[in-house]
Amino acid sequence: MEIIVRPLSPKLIKDFLNFFDNVAFTDNPDWSGCYCQFYHFPGNIKEWGETTKEQNRSASEKLILEEKMKGFLAYVHNQTVGWCNVNSKEIYSNIPYEDESEEDTKDKIASLVCFVISPIYRKKGIARTLLQKAIINLRENGFKWLESYPRKGKLSDAHSYHGPFSLYSSEGFFVVNETENSMIMRKSLTIKK
């Protein structure tokens, strides 16, 4: 199966919106109103709960057109089958777990906050391919670190949206901090000479 990965851009806005409108949450309709807006949302959790699907769709559309929402879309047979929300850490209004260590203040750091994979394409290497493309792209754009936030324990597909520990560890990430339910992991993007 050939997986094509493209960076999100205003030219791909229809693909992004169609994926979230019709594909991403067919098995989890309760989350279908997110449009990967949660980590960009400037308000508190109560205000987030009051936003509508239409408001989130419109807000994500605006961020994409302004080139403020970054990430990668995965395609199989010219159909969008996956999404990875990754951007400069400072862009996000809500980071899953804050960790103030020396790397945050010295170097350019990116955060990977979400994977959304089509239900029929899960466990087929889509997330890994998206992650590998993100690593290459971020390195080329001067980022020194990539941070991720996998959750602990046995989780449903829906609750694994941060990506699993096993994926990150196999791609060279290491744990820098832990909470009761989650980890903060990082990968150096600096190529050693």
How far lies 35's CA from each of 70, 92, 117, 134, in Å? Answer: 13, 15, 13, 19
pLDDT band per the 50, 70, 90 thresholds, residue 106:
low
**pLDDT tens-digit map of 123-150:** 999 999 999 999 999 999 999 999 999 9
Please check whether residue 37 is in contact with residue 83, taking contact to mean a CB–CB distance below 8 angstroms. no
- Mean pLDDT over 68-96 rounds to 92
Of the candidates 10, 6, 9, 22, the one whose C-alpha atom is nearest the C-alpha of residue 120 is 22
183: three-class secondary structure by DSSP: strand
Output the domain CATH number for residue 54: 3.40.630.30
167: three-class secondary structure by DSSP: helix
Domain count within the chain:
1
List the domain range (segments joined by +) for residue 101.
4-188
Q: Is the pLDDT of residue 81 over 80?
A: yes
109/77 Cα distance (integer angstroms): 33
> Would 133 be classed as within a structural domain?
yes
Give φ, ψ of 8 to 5 degrees. -60, 135
- Region of 78 please: left (phi>0), alpha (psi -120 to 50) or beta: left
Q: Is the pLDDT of residue 84 over 70?
A: yes
pTM of the model: 0.90
> Would 170 be classed as within a structural domain?
yes
> Would 193 be classed as within a structural domain?
no
